[in-house]
Amino acid sequence: MALWFRTFSTWTGKPGIHLEDLYVDPAYRSHGLGKALLLELARVCVERGYKRLEWWVLRWSAPSIEFYETLGARAMDAWIDYRIDGETLTRLGGGS
């Protein structure tokens, strides 16, 4: 399963794809299905003129990182992810 949505980059002035989740059932891993899903998303990007295919991966997920790097993906270390949730989100959003 590849769950994705279209994004827009103000840096490139073009759309892209953000891959929210890539999941292959453990019983079917190591059969090329994850790679096939990523290749299809790359094909969609090229076909539509999109400039990026992006996703997040947890730092501790070494097998995933290794897999992505074999495809030529590179970590975007210049960025820091931020999140607001829970009580802080409620407070900032004007909730009680």
Catalytic residue chosen out of the listed positions 23, 28, 50, 68? 68
- What span, in angstroms and rounded, lies between the C-alpha atoms of 23 and 70? 18
- What span, in angstroms and rounded, lies between the C-alpha atoms of 20 and 3? 6
CB atoms inside a 10 Å sphere around CB 8: 12
Residue 28 is among the residues annotated as catalytic for this protein:
no
Active site residues: 68
